[in-house]
Amino acid sequence: MALLPVDSDEETKYHHHRKKTSPYRKRTLLFLFLRFLLPTAATVTTDVWFESAILLSSFGYELVLAITNVSGAFLDGFFSDWEILLIPCGAKTEVLHIIADDIRTYYLSTYTSWAGMVGVAASLAHARSSVLIGILYIILSILMAFVAHGLGSDFAQYISSTITDPLSTMSKSHIHRAQKLLQRGILSLSGYIILTYIYLGEENIEESDDKGKEFWIIATPRNQLWISSIFAILGAYIGHILVGIISDKLRHPGVPMETLICNWFFGLLSLTLNIMKLRDISWGDSLLLRGFAINFCGAASMFAKHTSDNRRLYTAKKGKGAQRAAITNMTANIIFATIVFWVAFEIEEWEQPHDTRRGVVVKILKVLERRRAKQNLSATDMPA
């Protein structure tokens, strides 16, 4: 999680306030329900409304995903300060403080997608016939998210700066009002999900022309939504747990390897849909496989957390050391992303007709095929 430097007085006040609010979080089932609700709401937003916006506009999916990731980084910067540094004052800021950790862990991990960024970069590189464009898409997404995270943090501190003495206006009545506001917010979020589900039709999703397999679950928009939501919930939870396990095993690495490893691992797993489509194109109609590759791996990979790691490294120290640590982490992320990008790009090429295939692996196979043909030809020309 992002941690900004604070002086000892502010840190003492912060921990004093944390002790007052944390027992409420532990003894209520509200937050357990919230951890199921937040990934579902993020899935509804990205898979239903953002997809609809793409269909109704001239914007491509690559631009919408970039805006989604950058806006997610902005929100992560905003909520990271309310979780770690800033002291609430009043009911509304108390709600921001209470839900900040769950928003960042469960909502933003689902809302943003590191695996999706790499996959879209590979598709873009294939469509434009340029690997450089795909790599540039990755680099720009990471850099713009880094800037957006800082802007989100600045916005949170601006709101906090309008409060003269936070602790003097904090009272039990404000905490009680905050709990009521939180309950209303959860009810509104539940209504948002239910209304979206009702809005979706029951007609079958248009499938590919190549009829191959018949799947257990009929491809309808409503079935796609609830399957995607379940996989998103599992992905956000498992990704969060795996990061914690890896972080406990590693001893103060130079860069946050737990985030890099999870992003790289789930980025590769997200390519299972493309790999299965190589065997049979009809696998692209499987809601379960799509839910795993897109929603599960997208939620388990952590674009927002990587951006938060960069900001934490950049602000933890002053001088060139902080810049060097942040640049090292960014470079490592780009390298890991490039590896997954190369695999995804090669798979994209193998999905094309044989005569139009490109890529390094395709070229290597063509060279080996030519050598084998020459060897066979020379063997037939030798006298008996």
**Tell me: the pLDDT tens digits for 296-320?**
999 999 999 999 999 988 887 666 6
Residues in Cβ contact with 139 at an 8 Å cutoff, skipping those fewer than 6 apart: 334
**Tell me: the pLDDT tens digits for 246-267?**
888 876 677 788 999 999 999 9
> Which residue, 264, 294, 263, is CA-closest to 276?
294
Whether 18 has a pLDDT exceeding 50, the answer reads no
Bigger pLDDT: 282 vs 223: 223
Whether 134 has a pLDDT exceeding 50, the answer reads yes
Q: Quick one: pLDDT at residue 187?
A: 92
**Tell me: the pLDDT tens digits for 24-81?**
454 466 777 888 999 999 999 999 998 887 776 667 888 999 999 999 999 999 999 9
What is the overall mean pLDDT for the chain? Answer: 79
Bigger pLDDT: 235 vs 24: 235
Supply the angle between the helices 303-316 and 61-84 in degrees, to the nearest 10: 50
Q: Residue range 142-149: average pLDDT?
A: 95
Cα separation, 358 vs 272, in Å, equals 20
Q: Residue range 229-242: average pLDDT?
A: 94
Cα separation, 111 vs 101, in Å, equals 15
Cα separation, 316 vs 293, in Å, equals 35
Whether 160 has a pLDDT exceeding 60, the answer reads yes
Q: Residue range 108-121: average pLDDT?
A: 93
Enter the pTM of the model: 0.81
Question: Band of the pLDDT at 327, cuts 50, 70, 90?
Answer: confident
Write down the H helix ranges in the chain: 8-26, 30-44, 51-56, 61-84, 91-102, 108-111, 114-128, 131-161, 166-169, 172-199, 221-249, 257-269, 272-279, 287-290, 297-300, 303-316, 320-350, 360-381
Whether 7 has a pLDDT exceeding 50, the answer reads no
Cβ-contact 335, 24 below 8 angstroms? no
Whether 117 has a pLDDT exceeding 90, the answer reads yes
